[in-house]
Structure 1
Amino acid sequence: MTEAILELNGLTKKYSNKRGVEQITLQVKRGEVYGFFGPNGAGKTTVMKIITGLCRADQGNARLFGYDITTHYTQAMQKTGVLIETAEAFEYMSGYKNLQLASRFYPELGKSRIDEVLELVGLAKYKQEKVAGYSLGMKQRLGIAAALLSSPELLILDEPTNGLDIEGMVEMRKMMALLASEQGMTFFLSSHMIQEMELLCTRIGIVNEGRLIQEGLLSDLVDGQVYESLEQLFISTLQEERERKEYA
């Protein structure tokens, strides 16, 4: 049986506005590309923040590589790369200098790794330009490059294609597919670009109003019989959930 490297068990977090997540339970197995989908405000980013230790759950737990994120944070995050919400960088520095600064957290990093990740994300020819002159899409690429620096086994990305044009989205999808197939990297992705993610994801979860309402292998859920596309599955699942609540 394939190892589960990300496990969420009864994850619950409530904010003062009564939003948040409730009883989220799922597993991401090694080598999977897991797509985490939902409307704005459904709880996707909250889940990702709990997974990466940026906020604490009220109940339940998150485990990465078998380590509880709250009690063994360093071990849990050791093989994990993260980009959540906006890619942050020092704008007065070049892209290369920003990654050089980030590389100080990884003392065993090879000297060529910065150039490798810049090439991977398509920023090699812009590496000496100051980030202040980067477009939103270029800054997003830089954030993904930073997440890849340590050659992680698990990559957690919140809206990784944010700010990218169509060509950039295709390039990013191909890059992630390559890392998954050739290096066995595992991905946990949140994105609104459902059509792009359908070409990449192997397993999906749909969250609405803080609850996981659909989850499974993409090939089982979208088989050309009941649902012909991930977009159709997504819309139908949300509609069924809203009707269920209306008539409950």
Structure 2
Amino acid sequence: MKPVVEIRQLTKVYNNSRGVHEVNMTVQQGDIYGFFGPNGAGKTTVMKIITGLSKAQHGEVKLFGYDISTQYEQAMAKVGVLIETAEAYTYMSGRRNLELAVRFYPGIGGERIDEVLELVGLTPYQHEKAAGYSLGMKQRLGLAMALLSKPELLILDEPTNGLDIEGMVQMREIIMRLAREERITFLISSHLIHEMELMCNRIGILHQGRLVRETLVAELVQSGVTLEQAYLREIDSVRNVRKEEAPHA
């Protein structure tokens, strides 16, 4: 079975020296892969490169075996994306927003709109203007838009960011149900450790632009280590290595 996402030696450095450095990661079919790290670690940069919204200086990204730099349309054909804030026309209803979005997908129409509204729990609110939606409802509307094309991979950047506890629980339950019932593979970024531990089966820890560990959540649980403990251990290890490598006076 080929990996859904393959990233090798991915590097992009900005003028302020921040960015990502030689990132290697793999997302397998069926994964809910948690891409975890603090704000500013480089998660959104990686996701923008994966989806073609930004260009890497070095490295390779393949989706479903297709290289995004040379086979972009084939690579993105089965991908749904929600990066940063979910945007909607607030003066339109939730359903009308989806009707506009669905025009980008030939052969997909009203039936699919009904399906995605049901999948994200917005059917009762579909005719209300998006201006009246809570932040959680707007996030679910953005997720519905990402689902219109019947994707096999969903890339979600901080989908629970800014949500209250109820909103986070609802989003988590939707993602887990879609993975289970719709067989969708997920790549999800977050800086919320608890959410990642509850939702994901695999974790990639990003620190200062470098992927310092990939692991199965089940392996952490079996070893009696929480994700928080694993993260702190990895960061301490990185810091110790850098101290040893630093030139001595």
TM over 0.5, shorter chain: yes
Aligned counterpart, 2:129: 130
Residue 117 (structure 1) shift? 1.3
Question: What is the distance in 2 between the residues matched to 1:195 and 1:108?
Answer: 40
- Listed as ranges, the matches of 1:90-239 within 5 Å are 90-225=89-224, 227=225, 229-239=226-236
Note the aligned Cα RMSD (angstroms).
1.4
Question: What is the distance in 1 between the residues matched to 2:181 and 2:87?
Answer: 29
Question: What is the distance in 2 between the residues matched to 1:100 and 1:183?
Answer: 22
After superposition, give the CA deviation of every residue in 1:203-227 in whole Å (9 maximum; x if it has no partner). 11101111110112222234243x1
Q: Which amino acid aligns with 1:154?
A: L
Question: What is the distance in 2 between the residues matched to 1:171 and 1:160?
Answer: 11
Aligned counterpart, 1:32: 31
For the residue of structure 2 that corresponds to 1:4, the secondary structure is: coil
- Listed as ranges, the matches of 1:56-71 within 5 Å are 56-71=55-70
5+ residue gaps, structure 2, are: none
Aligned counterpart, 1:43: 42
Aligned counterpart, 1:241: 238
Q: Percent of aligned pairs with the same residue? A: 61
Q: How many pairs align? A: 245
Q: Which moved more, 1:114-123 or 1:32-41?
A: 114-123
Contact preservation (8 Å) 2:102, 2:109 = no
For the residue of structure 1 that corresponds to 2:215, the secondary structure is: strand
Aligned counterpart, 1:81: 80
Q: Which amino acid aligns with 1:97?
A: R
Question: What is the distance in 2 between the residues matched to 1:39 and 1:125?
Answer: 36
Aligned counterpart, 1:23: 22
Q: Which amino acid aligns with 1:235?
A: L
Residue 92 (structure 1) shift? 1.6
Question: What is the distance in 2 between the residues matched to 1:163 and 1:126?
Answer: 21
Contact preservation (8 Å) 1:194, 1:231 = yes
Q: Which amino acid aligns with 1:137?
A: G
For the residue of structure 2 that corresponds to 1:187, the secondary structure is: strand
Residue 74 (structure 1) shift? 1.1
Question: What is the distance in 2 between the residues matched to 1:133 and 1:183?
Answer: 29
Residue 240 (structure 1) shift? 2.6
Question: What is the distance in 2 between the residues matched to 1:70 and 1:23?
Answer: 17
After superposition, give the CA deviation of every residue in 1:140-177 in whole Å (9 maximum; x if it has no partner). 11111111111100000001112322222222222211
Residue 244 (structure 1) shift? 2.7
For the residue of structure 1 that corresponds to 2:191, the secondary structure is: coil
Question: What is the distance in 2 between the residues matched to 1:99 and 1:111?
Answer: 9
Deviation >3 Å, runs of 4+: none
Contact preservation (8 Å) 2:7, 2:60 = yes
